[in-house]
C-alpha cells in the first residue's frame, strides 16, 4: 500500500476496508454524543442514529419519499442538460469571437457575484411557480459558474496545437472541431462534476417555492423544519449526500467513456506493471457492466409502459420523476445512441484493421 499521490492507489478491497473503518469511527462518535438519558447533545440539536434510521420508513409511508427523491433528481438532471446546452455554444461564441468577448467578457465575470437566492422573485415573475421555473432557476445557477470557467478553459488551450493545425492550413471551423472542442469540453467535464454539489444547494432553494409539487427541498421544509423534526432533516441530508456520491461516480464513469484520452497515462502505467486483478475486483467490474445492461433493459420496458400502457394503467416513471420525466426519456435515447455509435466505430476500426492485415499478407 502506498501513500496518496504515490505510484499505486491501493486495491479496491483496501479502499473498501478503510472506508468501512472511517464510517464506523464516525458512527461511534455519533452514538457517544447522543446516547444515554442525558446525552451530550440534545435530540433537537443532533438526533441519535436510531431515530434517524426510524425516520426513513416513516417518510416512506407518510411523506412519499420515493417520488420526492425522483422529482429532485429529475430537476437536477433537467437543469444540468439545459445549462450545458446553453453554456457550450455561448461559451465558444464569447471565447473565440473577439467582438463578443470585448462586449460580454466583463458581464460574464460579473455573473459570479450575483446572489442567486435573491433572484427567486424575478424567476417567479418570469416563469411562474411551476417546474419550469425551478428548472430555469437551477440552470441559471449552474451557468453563472460554468460560463466563466469555460471561457477560461478556452484560454488554456495549448498554443502548440493551434499553431500545428494553422500550419496544416486548417480553417476556423476545423480548428474549432479538432482542437478547441475536444480540449475545452473534456476539461469542462471535470468542472461540471464539481458543480454537482452547488446544484443541489439551489434545488433545495427552488423546491421551497410551491412546496406542494414535492422534492427533497420541500420535504426538508415541510416534514423537517415546520415540524421541528431534526431526525427527518438528518435523514434527508443523508439521502442527498448518497445521491451526490452516486452522481459523482456516474460522472467519472461517463467521463472515462466520453474522453478516454484523458486516462491514457493512467492506463499505460497500469499496463506497464505486472498486475493481476483479484477475484473481488473482477466480480465488481462484472457487476457494474451487468447492472448497466440490466438498467437499460428495465428502463426500456418502463418507457414502453409509459408510452403504450401495455401492462396496465400504472406509470412508474411518471410517478417517480413527475413533470421531469421527459428528461429521463432524453437521457435514455442519448445512452442508446452513444452505445450504438461506440459499437459502430469499434466495428469499423476492426474491419479496417482486418483489411490492412489481409492486404499486407497478400
Structure confidence at residue 4 (pLDDT)? 46
265, 296, 319 - which closes a domain: 265
Residues 6+ apart with CB under 8 A from 92: 154, 176, 180, 181, 184
Task: Spell 16-35 as b/e; 16+ CB within 10 A means b.
Answer: eeeeeeeeeeeeeebeeebe
The Cα–Cα gap between 326 and 134 comes to 15
Note whether 186 and 295 are same-domain residues: no
Distance CA 123, CA 111 (A): 16
Would you write out the chain's pLDDT as a tens digit for each of its 362 residues?
Answer: 444 444 444 555 677 777 778 878 888 888 888 877 777 877 777 888 888 888 888 888 888 888 888 888 888 888 888 888 999 999 888 888 888 877 777 877 777 787 777 788 888 888 888 888 888 888 888 888 888 888 888 888 888 888 888 788 878 788 888 888 888 888 888 888 888 777 888 887 888 787 777 788 888 877 666 667 788 888 888 898 888 888 888 888 888 888 877 776 655 555 544 455 556 666 766 777 777 778 778 888 888 877 787 777 777 888 788 777 888 888 888 888 888 888 888 888 788 888 777 777 66
Domain assignment present for 5: no
| 339 domain residue, yes or no | yes
Residue 125 placed within a domain: yes
- 66 and 20 share a domain? no
Q: Are residues 88 and 190 in the same domain?
A: yes
Judgement on whether residues 164 and 143 belong to the same structural domain of the protein? yes
Q: What pLDDT score does 362 carry?
A: 62
Residue 361 domain flag: no
User: Is 57 found in the same domain as 42?
Assistant: no
For residues 177 and 310, state if they share a domain.
no
Q: Which three cell numbers stand for residue 285?
A: 467490474
Domain membership of residue 101 as a residue range: 51-265
Q: How far apart are CA 192 and CA 87, in angstroms?
A: 11
Which residues contact residue 73 at a Cβ distance below 8 angstroms, ignoring those fewer than 6 apart?
A: 243, 321
Do 246 and 294 sit in the same domain of this protein?
A: no
What is the pLDDT at residue 9?
45
In a domain, residue 274? The reply is: no
The verdict on 89 and 236 lying in the same domain is yes
Q: Supply the pLDDT for residue 8.
A: 43
The answer on 341 and 327 residing in a single domain is yes
φ/ψ (deg, to 5) at 353: -65, -40
Q: Is residue 224 part of a domain?
A: yes
**Residues 36 and 58 placed together within one structural domain of the fold:** no
Domain count for the chain, please give it.
Answer: 3
Which of 232, 265, 298 is the last residue before a domain boundary?
A: 265
pLDDT of residue 210: 78
Residue 7 domain flag: no
Q: 152 and 32: one domain?
A: no
**63 and 35 belong to one structural domain:** no
Reference 236, options 219, 213, 214, 211; nearest CA is 219
pLDDT at 265: 62
Residue 39 domain flag: yes
64's torsion region: left (phi>0), alpha (psi -120 to 50) or beta?
A: left
Cα separation, 142 vs 149, whole angstroms: 11
**Alpha-helical regions (H) of the chain:** 12-34, 49-62, 65-96, 98-111, 120-127, 131-155, 159-167, 172-175, 181-194, 196-207, 216-219, 230-258, 264-272, 279-308, 316-321, 325-361
Amino acid at each position: 500500500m502506498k501513500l496518496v499521490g504515490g505510484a499505486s492507489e491501493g486495491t479496491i478491497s483496501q479502499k473498501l476496508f478503510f472506508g468501512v473503518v472511517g464510517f464506523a469511527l464516525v458512527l461511534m462518535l455519533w452514538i457517544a454524543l447522543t446516547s444515554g438519558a442525558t446525552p451530550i447533545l440534545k435530540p433537537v440539536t443532533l438526533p441519535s442514529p436510531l431515530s434517524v434510521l426510524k425516520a426513513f420508513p416513516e417518510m416512506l409511508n407518510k411523506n412519499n419519499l420515493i417520488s420526492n427523491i425522483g422529482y429532485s433528481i429529475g430537476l437536477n438532471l433537467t437543469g444540468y442538460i439545459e445549462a450545458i446546452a446553453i453554456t457550450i455554444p455561448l461559451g465558444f461564441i464569447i471565447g473565440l469571437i473577439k467582438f463578443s468577448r470585448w462586449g460580454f467578457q466583463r458581464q460574464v465575470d460579473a455573473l459570479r457575484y450575483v446572489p442567486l437566492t435573491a433572484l427567486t422573485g424575478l424567476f417567479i415573475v418570469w416563469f411562474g411557480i411551476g417546474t419550469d421555473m425551478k428548472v430555469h432557476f437551477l440552470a441559471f445557477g449552474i451557468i453563472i459558474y460554468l460560463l466563466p470557467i469555460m471561457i477560461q478553459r478556452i484560454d488554456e488551450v495549448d498554443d502548440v496545437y493551434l499553431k500545428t493545425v494553422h500550419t496544416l492550413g486548417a480553417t476556423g471551423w476545423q480548428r474549432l472541431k479538432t482542437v478547441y472542442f475536444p480540449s475545452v469540453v473534456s476539461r469542462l467535464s471535470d468542472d461540471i462534476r464539481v458543480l454537482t454539489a452547488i446544484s443541489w444547494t439551489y434545488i433545495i432553494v427552488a423546491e421551497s417555492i410551491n412546496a406542494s409539487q414535492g422534492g427533497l427541498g420541500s420535504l426538508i421544509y415541510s416534514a423537517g423544519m415546520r415540524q421541528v423534526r431534526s431526525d427527518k432533516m438528518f435523514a434527508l441530508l443523508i439521502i442527498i449526500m448518497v445521491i451526490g456520491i452516486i452522481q459523482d461516480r456516474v460522472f467519472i464513469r461517463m467521463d472515462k467513456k466520453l474522453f478516454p484520452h484523458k486516462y491514457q497515462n493512467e492506463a499505460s502505467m497500469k499496463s506497464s506493471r505486472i498486475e493481476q486483478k483479484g477475484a473481488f475486483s473482477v466480480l465488481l467490474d462484472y457487476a457494474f457492466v451487468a447492472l448497466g445492461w440490466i438498467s437499460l433493459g428495465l428502463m426500456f420496458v418502463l418507457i414502453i409502459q409509459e408510452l403504450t400502457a401495455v401492462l396496465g394503467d400504472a406509470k412508474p416513471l411518471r410517478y417517480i420523476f413527475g413533470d421531469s420525466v421527459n428528461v429521463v426519456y432524453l437521457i435514455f435515447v442519448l445512452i442508446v445512441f452513444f452505445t450504438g455509435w461506440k459499437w459502430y466505430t469499434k466495428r469499423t476500426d476492426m474491419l479496417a484493421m482486418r483489411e490492412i492485415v489481409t492486404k499486407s499478407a497478400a
